[in-house]
Structure 1
Amino acid sequence: MNTTASNKKAGEAWTAEDEAYLTANFATVPNRELARRMGRTYEAIRCRGQVMKLKKVRNVRDRAVYQRKEVPKKYIQYVPWLMEHYGKVPVQEVAAHMGISMDNTCTTFVSALRRAGYAIPRGDFKRKDTGWMDAILVYVKENFSKKSRQEICAHLNITNRTLSTYLSHWRAKGEVFIKPSPYPIGTIRKTEKRGCVLQEIRTERGWAYYKSTTINPKPRQPKPRKERPSRAKVFSRVLPKEPKPQPARKILEDAKFIKSMLGEKVIKIKPRTEGKVLVKLDTRTSVYAEPGYNIEELRSKYLRKTA
């Protein structure tokens, strides 16, 4: 077909030559480039590709394989083996048998072989549930509560996502996997010494946890308390009874009398319930006046302190 741009009108019919050229180049050539070559708009190329059910090759590696339109001869020799074992053995074993890396290279070349016309079976998880899956199930059940997921994946040479897929498949069949206890091993041992066990608990999300529960727990008995005499009884035995304090009314009368005698020199008079009157003469001097005090004696105390 002539790849130079031509002035085609909008809505012009697609010929068999145009469709053949579009089918040969739609997967690898961008739509804008095809529109420039065929003299059509971008929307015309895109819509015609959808009508003809053509697909783009998004992966750079797939595009390179697709552009070659042939599979390397060193991988064609593995086609009989792949026809028999692919989808029934782990991808790790397939990659080791073909001598390629564990990233998407294995599935990429298998896809290239399918495009080349080889009917390689597709992987089905139901077909994978064979003897080697049983061995993985036994290992995971034995070590799921002892090792981390990273250690299990490293030992089985699988990814964390693959392990999660296996666990979902096994749990759907009724298998139970116990996660490690969130408590340290010292706490677990102490719990077991106290007569407790670690019980399996399943939550709504399907996970199983350890929980500490007692075996035939004994009812807690309160400790016997010693009978102690009350505080009032103790002090009544040791201390004599205190004399009744002087009535507050009598103390207030004495305070008023002292204030009238000393005049403005008294700053504060505070009666006490112990039968005394605190007379604060200035900011640094205070005198206690006991029952039966003498006004002259109080005056002399004040003069002696302020002298």
Structure 2
Amino acid sequence: MPPHPPTVPAYEGRPLPRPDEEVVDQGLAFDIGTLMSRRRLLGLFGIGAATVGLAACGSGSSSAAGSSSSPSSSAAAAAGEIPDETAGPYPGDGSNGPDVLEQSGVVRSDIRSSFGEYSGTAEGVPMTLRLTVTDLANGGVPFAGAAVYVWHCTREGGYSLYSEGITDQNYLRGVQVAGSDGTVTFTSVFPACYDGRWPHVHVEVYPDQASITDSTNAVATSQVALPHDVCEAVYATAGYEASVANLARVSLDGDNVFGDDGGASQLATVTGDVSGGYTVALTAGVDTTTTPSGGGAAPGGDGAPSGAPPGGPGGTRPSPPA
């Protein structure tokens, strides 16, 4: 009887190219093959690519469990174009009433307090917003020099410059210019969930700081969605009481902005806790060769937040509300 051939060590049915080494030390080609095999398998069950990536990174190693990091340059380069969305009726960029972008001092990282002629500070659970912008027109490299304008509602659900009681405030609005890594960081507070909308942060991207004085110069207008579990934790704290019932009535799939894909490319990654504050991160690809379609104070983007006046500037709210 001929001798049996020697047994070759294998992993998930695939021979190990380095049988004397650990699974995690089999080389790049083997790792990629493992990732692609799992992607095909999990795709049959509707499991997302993010889960596949986490599983592949954790194979054979527990040292990274529970750790978090900023998006890598390769991950940023792979990000697709962030969907174009309406700026809603409370942009503060001059397209629908007040224009905070023409005010000296709007370029700042801490947006919790008002600036210029206004004074006042918004309260709430601390939130650090970190956005990484990539330039898809140039192969997905970091969009260095891009000016990013962000704004969002208060913990009570109102928007500065527009909502009743805070028309004389301009907090929770600000601009940052991306560095060489394409990243901007803002210090703020976690926004409320107001009736009819999923909790979110508004974003406008301009090609450079000089362009921000004209809202039509924006190369991208979108919104960042906040995860449900984090929202629940925040809304259980003092000051967010109205958000509890509002959150129970909305869903990502049913939201008029995120509902077309459940916010797949706009749902932020969040780390932290209520006591220490949260870091909200998202990588947004911007393609300057495409024509923005959702910018401006177009209808269909935001419903009236809690405490908002009966109509937008001039007495007419964009219609239909959402």
Higher strand share: 2
- The structure showing larger relative contact order (alpha-carbon pairs under 8 Å, at least 6 residues apart) is 2
Q: Answer yes or no: same fold by TM over 0.5.
A: no
Structure number with greater Rg is 1
Structure 1 length as normaliser, TM-score? 0.21
